[in-house]
Amino acid sequence: MDRFVIEGGHRLSGTIAPSGNKNAALPLLAAALLTDKRLVLRNVPDIGDVRIMQSLLEQLGVSVERMGPNACALRAATVPSADPDIALARRIRTSPLLAGPLLARRGHVTLPRPGGDVIGRRRLDTHFLALRALGATVEVTPSSYILSADRLRGADIFLDEMSVTGTEQTLLAAVLAEGHTTVGNAASEPHVQDLCRCLSQMGAQIGGIGTNLLEIEGVASLSGADFTVGPDFMEVGSLIGLAAVTGSELRLVGARPREHRMSRIAFGRLGVTWRDEGDDIVVPGGQELEVNHDLHGAIPKIDSAPWPGFNPDLISTALVVATQARGTVLIHEKMFESRLFFADRLIGMGARIVLCDPHRAVVVGPAQLYGEPEGMPSPDIRAGMALLTAALCAKGKSVIYNIGQIDRGYERIDERLSALGARIKRAR
């Protein structure tokens, strides 16, 4: 099994372009099932989860032409007759997104329970409540979901939570449903907006893009499109945190600064600054990180929230940055009850963290971090990247195992960071 061997304590410098947004690419790949025409996707990250989704589509009979490492052309010329491969579908979290397109295209699908990161309970109820509202019947078994619909019909839907994939599922089903669909309490993250824009290019009628109220007028069919996936919002945030804790000056090319206004506020509470230059973000080197107290010297809090709040996928990086900032801060992850458990690894490296409960951690910094030469596992995508960040700012050597988790979300991260001066290599 591959591992990363890291020598920490070295500054990085240079320019890096964020990979395409994983959380946009996966539902966009599923959208290929909605049409018999050619869908070309560009700036697709070459990562584990994307390759699994492409394999799932090929198994369903979709033609997948790989046009280099970061582009592909897909065509579902005929309605696939098979159900998604159980073993493949269980390997990624987003395999349920195949349900909406297959219901719309052929009226039935059986899916296994998905896999993905183990960061706590990740409910699918929102998906199936929305599909039921559109006319589908859903049978839930201990190991699978059996869905069918003679015809999907538009509905007035208010999602029970502001779920990203639940919103994407509803969009993928509603664009070909008969009549009008309203989706209230919809997620509006950049990756949801990318899906809306691509579907619109394919001929879907979607209003309210970027808001929490989507209006969809169903159409009889969709055409193809040529769409470029936006930059990975989470990778940009991870790189900002990495630059800050290593004292590095980095230019993040094409990072869409307007998408990081809340990240600027959250990281700013830890003393992190950057400047916007056009569509780039430039993080200056040698920053002195210090917690900015709330009024009257109160201890500040960094907490996760649905968009446009601070993204929960960046909480792991914020925890590492907090270990290097002078002062005390509360990190509050409201959504997933296992995401902060990797804090034990940081404590083992020398961080001063009190894990209050599964959702809250108090961090007192700065703390000198020391490498973990005996090795530590990457528990999930974001915690893995956070541990890599900690290792790069630590004194000494660290080894990270189970890096397939990191590879699922960050494309060739070792090669790209090495090009900036990081001392990191992949070994077996």
Active-site positions read: 117
Of 364, 354, 427, 420, residue with least CA distance to 392: 420
Say how far apart CA 221 and CA 208 lie, in whole Å: 21
Which class for 105: exposed (0-12), middle (13-18), buried (19 or more C-beta within 10 A)? middle
Say how far apart CA 294 and CA 14 lie, in whole Å: 34
Q: Which backbone phi and psi does 28 adopt, to 5 degrees? A: -65, -35
CA atoms within 13 A on the CB side of 193: 15
Residue 376, beta-bridge partner list:
400
CB atoms within 10 A of CB 425: 13
Residue 327, beta-bridge partner list:
365
Encoded tokens for 305:
């929230």
Say how far apart CA 63 and CA 38 lie, in whole Å: 9
Task: Assess contact for 353 and 347: CB atoms under 8 A.
Answer: yes
Amino acid (one-letter) located at 415: E
Of 10, 2, 55, residue with least CA distance to 421: 10
DSSP structure class, residue 336: -
